[in-house]
Homo-oligomer: A and B are copies of this chain.
Amino acid sequence: MEDIILLSHGNGGEATRKLIEEEILKYLGNEILEELLDSALIDIKGKVAFTTDSFVVSPIFFKGGDIGKLSIYGTINDLSVMGAKPLYISVGFILEEGLTLKDFRKILESMRSAIEECNVKVVTGDTKVVEKGKGDKIYINTTGIGIIEDGISWHGRKIEEGDIVIINGEIGEHGLSIMMERLGIKTEEVKSDLAPLHNLTLPLLKISSGIKFMRDPTRGGVAGVLNEIAQKYNVEIDIDEEKIPVKPWVKNASEILGIDPLYSANEGKVIIVADKKEEKKIMEFLRNHPLGQKAQVIGEINGMGKRVYLKTKMGTKRIIDPLKKDLLPRIC
């Protein structure tokens, strides 16, 4: 096989078959995918969560992960924050002519390991090739199906005054690490927080009935998710700058780049709104979890208002708007 992707790999003939059978199936194969049918046939019963995400991150390899791992964890996380157990994933590749097979295999291997870790199956897929200059090495769409298990029931509309807002750890790492990579600044500590959240969110929903809302603050960051909650459920949210966990390198990078960590993407974080009565139980669970050791209650719900306020370290209070100005694109 040639050592780069050619247009003929997308023509639906022999080269496509070889790419699928000799490369993709080698890494992602299982008894369902290997049938190579027009649709995968799967058995499902109950309430299903269904989510899609395209990944266009640049660079495709970065400290803490790559586009392959991101494409699996990203969809795992969109299912996990809905309280769904991830089961099946579809993968759609858009490959740019000239992508090296070496890089493609690295990405496939990274996906394989993420799939194994999350105990999901890639059951259906598609591969297209576009001419050089009409893509950027590789774009990946993943679409996921998960099952919402019986007994798990929660809904954002129950959010009310006095509820607490929790984050499971330090913020802003994914977005700022991608930006630092693009600038060629690589220090030891600069690293994406990329991680799958299913082993955190699903057990949490089982130990506490006080969870009212969960969402992973990716593009748009923590500020984006908090504004969504405030607007959707017509509540005011007050957060406390002192409580927001931020790594020192993120603080420095955010000053260099002029980007507030509150607006920077995360890929292993979840914002949780919960009943204050459950605070102790939830925080104890989180702090004992590998992905929650730096968990913090960062704020609370304060009546109606559709606004997010930040109490600064200096004691002043300012509005946190959703992102208006441009951040660098293609973070995820």
Chain A: residues with CB nearer than 8 A to chain B? 7-8, 10-14, 16-17, 36-56, 58, 77-79, 81-82, 84, 88, 90-94, 123-126, 128-131, 133-136, 139, 141, 143-146, 148, 215-216, 218-221, 224, 228, 263, 265, 321-327, 329-330
* Contacting residue for A39 out of B49, B90, B327, CB 8 A: B49
Question: CB distance B48 to A43 under 8 Å?
Answer: yes
Residue of B nearest to A40 (CB): B50
Give A332 to B90 CA distance when docked, in angstroms: 18
| The residue from B13, B143, B224 contacting A13, defined by CB atoms under 8 A apart | B224
Check A130 against B329 for contact (C-beta < 8 Å).
Answer: yes
**Closest partner residue, chain B, to A6 (CB atom):** B326
Cross-chain pairs A/B with CB under 8 angstroms, 24 sampled = A7-B326, A10-B329, A10-B330, A11-B329, A12-B327, A38-B51, A38-B77, A39-B49, A39-B82, A40-B49, A42-B48, A44-B46, A48-B145, A50-B145, A52-B125, A54-B94, A92-B92, A130-B136, A130-B329, A133-B133, A135-B136, A141-B141, A141-B143, A143-B143
* Chain B residues whose C-beta falls within 8 Å of the C-beta of A77 in the assembled complex: 38
A299 to chain B, nearest CB (A): 20
CB–CB A141/B50 < 8 A: no
Q: Are B326 and A54 in contact (CB-based, < 8 A)?
A: no
Is A12 a contact of B133 with CB atoms below 8 Å?
no
- Which residues does chain B contribute within 8 Å of A136, judged by CB atoms? 130, 134-135
Q: How far is the CA of A264 from the CA of B45 in the complex (A)?
A: 39
User: Are B327 and A38 closer than 8 Å at their CB atoms?
Assistant: no
Given A13-B322, A37-B82, 5 additional A-B pairs, CB 8 A: A10-B219, A12-B265, A13-B323, A39-B79, A133-B133
Q: Known contacts A16-B219, A44-B46, A146-B39: does B92 contact A141 (CB below 8 Å)?
A: yes
